[in-house]
Amino acid sequence: MFQLRCTVRNCNLDLKRQATSLVCSSGHHFDRAKEGYWSLIQPQDRKSVKAGDTDTAVLARHRWLERGHANELIEFLTPWASKAAACSATETPRILDLGCGEGSFGPALFGNNADGYCGIDLSKRAVRMAARGWPEATWVLANADRTLPIHDQSIDCTMSLFGRRPVSEISRIAKPNAMCLIAVPAEDDLIELREKTQKAGHRRSRWKTIVDEFSVAGFQFVKHQLWKQQMKLDREAINDALAMTYRAVRHSQHARLESVTAMQVTLAADVLLFQRSV
């Protein structure tokens, strides 16, 4: 399975699989959850500025993906993922998916490499679903805003799709020449929905800031592309889009959409590829 390291403070030793446990040579021990994921989170790391998605958001994202709303995005990302994995000299490139969520993208993009794939998320609900969906891969409950349970310079490709981007940790774990595949919502993602709920939908492009952050952390910018799709959403899909993007929070905003039964929306993502300078 995917090599992980011990998360007991200052230990950092290899974790070895023994039946349904992971054990380091200092005797620290982590049980496999019955759903098949590993909880490597330490009590002091549970708290985060953002504590992972709520169950409601995770389930909404799951329904959204099950309905196939991300199929075109997956198709678009497939050659990017292959390119990112191809930087590796090994046959089993080590892929780390930060903020893997309910686990649809991992098998869709790296399904032929279960041994080399690890998804990390802070939502128990999300990793549970992910582990059920692709049990051959490695799924870890951990906080991506803390020290990652991964050895220095051991990852060929880190992926963050609409998730956390802890650049100094991504840099620490990256092998020389490792790649990093990032997707963030583009400025007009779901703009029609935002305009309706917030009256004025804010357009905010983040990708140039991300290029700066990665450059400071020792990554060269390889490529950026804007992915876009128009899609008609029915009422249920509108509800899920609101729930999975935190935009359902304010009742008064939600109310503005109550009479809407269907809506044409823009889905848009900025996709970026970086490579670690040697």
Ligand X SMILES: C[S@@+](CC[C@H](N)C(=O)[O-])C[C@H]1O[C@@H](n2cnc3c(N)ncnc32)[C@H](O)[C@@H]1O
Residues that bind Zn ion (CB under 5 A): 6, 8, 11, 13, 24, 26, 28
d(CA 254, CA 277): 46
Nearer to Zn ion, 24 or 65 (CB): 24
The yes or no reply on residue 128 touching ligand X (CB under 6 A) is: no
Identify the CA nearest to 3 among candidates 108, 109, 144, 152.
152
List the interface residues with ligand X, window 104-123 (CB under 6 A).
105, 120-123
Q: How far is CA 173 from CA 90, 128, 158, 195, 197, in A?
A: 16, 25, 9, 40, 40
Nearer to ligand X, 133 or 220 (CB): 133
- Residue whose structure tokens are 């020449």: 177
Nearer to ligand X, 63 or 177 (CB): 63
Query: Of these partners, Zn ion, ligand X, none, which one is at the site of residue 28 (CB under 5 to 8 Å by kind)?
Result: Zn ion
Identify the CA nearest to 127 among candidates 144, 115, 110, 112.
144
CB 13 to Zn ion: min, Å: 5
In single-letter form, the type of residue at position 237 comes to A
Nearer to ligand X, 182 or 256 (CB): 182
CB 77 to ligand X: min, Å: 10
Query: Of these partners, Zn ion, ligand X, none, which one is at the site of residue 6 (CB under 5 to 8 Å by kind)?
Result: Zn ion
The yes or no reply on residue 141 touching ligand X (CB under 6 A) is: no
Q: DSSP letter string over 90-121?
A: SSS--EEEET-TTSSHHHHHHTT-GGGEEEEE
Nearer to ligand X, 53 or 240 (CB): 53
CB 112 within 8 A of CB 134: no
CB 15 to ligand X: min, Å: 19
Nearer to ligand X, 63 or 151 (CB): 63
Closest residue to bound ligand X by CB: 101
CB 59 to ligand X: min, Å: 11
Q: DSSP letter string over 8-48?
A: STTT-PBPEEETTEEE-TT--EEEBPTTS-EE---GGGS--
Q: How far is CA 77 from CA 35, 115, 176, in A?
A: 28, 21, 23
List the interface residues with ligand X, window 37-66 (CB under 6 A).
48, 50, 52-53, 58, 61
The yes or no reply on residue 101 touching ligand X (CB under 6 A) is: yes
**Which residues of the shown chain bind ligand X in the complex (CB under 6 A)?**
48, 50, 52-53, 58, 61, 99-101, 105, 120-123, 126, 143-145, 161-164
